[in-house]
Amino acid sequence: MKMIRAIVRPEKENDVVLALEAKGFPAMTKMNVFGRGKQKGITVGPIHYDELPKVMLMIVVEDNESPAVIDVIRQSAYVGYEGDGKVFVSPVTESYTIRTGTRSE
């Protein structure tokens, strides 16, 4: 399994979630995070912002599903400007459903 962590614009969160849901990936965890990228934040007039609010979506899927999920996120979170966010993929060796205690690899 793969854990996909996508850091997206808060205003794009709903689009991403609905797009994933439509493709059959309704299960995910989201959290509000702050981040900055390669540009070290943004400067608007005299003020420099280096803690930009973002939403992190965490989705765990089977290995063969991860390219599809990444595609969906790329299309739905895309604006075309700096700050669109990042997607990170990491391995998950096993997962458990607490309600039933079943294990899956």
Name the minimum Å distance from CB 61 to another protein.
11
Residue with tokens 């079943």: 102
Q: Is residue 101 involved in binding another protein (CB under 8 A)? A: yes
End-to-end CA distance of the chain: 7
52-61 and 2-8 strand pairing: antiparallel
Interacting residue with another protein among 22, 43, 49, 67 (CB under 8 A): 22
Window 54-83: residues binding another protein (CB under 8 A):
58, 60
Please compute, for residue 53, the number of CA atoms within 13 A of its CA located in the half-sphere on the CB side: 6
Provide the binding-site residues for another protein, judged by CB under 8 A: 1, 3, 17, 21-22, 26-31, 58, 60, 90-99, 101
